[in-house]
Chains A and B, each alone.
Chain A
Amino acid sequence: QVQLKESGPGLVQPSQTLSLTCTVSGLSLTSNSVSWIRQPPGKGLEWMGVIWSNGGTDYNSAIKSRLSISRDTSKSQVFLKMNSLQTEDTAMYFCARNVPGDPFDYWGQGVMVTVSS
């Protein structure tokens, strides 16, 4: 069955770079797209960006200058890198399958990232 699982450091210092990994199973990254979505504690959901099945990317303009999404199809992994982290980047970070024209149907469990010194 389709599964996604996020991993990464729980704590990042301000101004540093966040690196997260989404490991997928039950689907191929060459025929499926994956989005990253985040949720600050007690707040709503924000779509961050997507890596398409062809390897192209699109980002939320609000964070585009700080964000990079890439992948390793041989390892079934999608990567998120975001630089210049601030306390307001503290959030649960989710990866989700992104079928063009359809909503996000499969989500990972999420990984909590705290930005603090």
Chain B
Amino acid sequence: DIQMTQSPPSLSASLGETVSIECRASEDIYSNLAWYQQKSGKSPQLLIYYASSLQDGVPSRFSGSGSGTQYSLKISGMQPEDEGVYYCLQGSKYPRTFGGGTKLELK
């Protein structure tokens, strides 16, 4: 199975601050990487797919980059509604595997 290592496990950011979350795959996943945001008690919401494509309706302050085994999610200007847990998901092979999550809080 492909292992997804996500960092950091938690993060605190001030309003307007730029935030980055990293995800490393145990093998090349050829940009088949998605990012999700999950708010408390809700299902995950798709933010980014194919490493850098923005899902319809997602604010442009969210962006993704990376290739091979290294990927990142950037939030350019933290907003209160961005609080939640963020997960990466590899879509290269089955079983699909998720990163361990990054809890993002507003400082």
Cα distance, A110 to B87, chains bound together (Å): 17
Cα distance, A44 to B34, chains bound together (Å): 15
Looking at the complex, which one of A44, A61, A103, A104 makes contact with B100 (CB distance below 8 Å)? A44
The number of residues on chain B lying at the interface, defined by a beta carbon within 8 Å of a beta carbon of chain A, is 22
* Inter-subunit contact A60/B95 (CB<8 Å): yes
Q: Majority SS of interface residues in chain B?
A: loop
Interface residues of B in 36-93 (CB under 8 A from A): 36, 42-46, 49, 55, 87, 89, 91
A to B contact number (C-beta, < 8 Å): 50
Report B81 CB to chain A, min CB distance, Å: 19
Report A4 CB to chain B, min CB distance, Å: 9
Is the C-beta of A19 less than 8 angstroms from some C-beta in chain B? no
In the complex, what residues of A have CB within 8 A of residue B49's CB? Answer: 102-103, 105
The number of residues on chain A lying at the interface, defined by a beta carbon within 8 Å of a beta carbon of chain B, is 21
Looking at the complex, which one of B43, B46, B99 makes contact with A109 (CB distance below 8 Å)? B43
**Contact string, B1-22, partner A, CB cutoff 8 A, digits 1/0?**
1000000000000000000000
In the complex, what residues of B have CB within 8 A of residue A26's CB? Answer: none
A–B complex contacts, Cβ < 8 Å, 20 sampled: A45-B44, A45-B98, A47-B95, A47-B96, A47-B98, A60-B95, A61-B1, A61-B95, A62-B95, A94-B43, A101-B32, A102-B49, A103-B36, A103-B91, A104-B44, A104-B46, A104-B89, A105-B55, A108-B43, A109-B42
